[in-house]
Amino acid sequence: MIIPEISAAITSARGEIFKGLISLGIDSKVQAAVIDAQNVTLQLQSQMFDILAKFEQQAAELSELREKLREKEDWNVTAAKYAPYRTVDGVVVYRLK
């Protein structure tokens, strides 16, 4: 998926930006704000990975359900070709319509 590439780009850019800001010799309040921003970014990135994992799990489940539905539809087509038939002995069997 494209999300890992986006995440890598964000991580790289984020690191460079924060390193650059801290190395400028700015005051401690700004550094604290930059560190807080970096922490928030890390939290958002973690949430993004959690969402991606849930999305992939849901996509796999959807795929499985679609396959089961396809199998059920195939069975219904096959079952529609047959009708119950009672033999002379009273036994019910299915035969082609």
pLDDT digits (tens, 9 = 90+) for 21-65: 666 666 777 778 888 999 999 999 999 999 999 999 999 999 999
Give the Cβ contact number of residue 34 at 10 Å. 18
pLDDT tens digit string along 56-90? 999 999 999 999 999 998 888 888 889 999 998 88
Indicate whether this model's pTM tops 0.85: no
For residues 32, 33, 34 and 36, what is the CA-based torsion angle, rounded to 10 degrees? Answer: 90
pLDDT of residue 22: 62
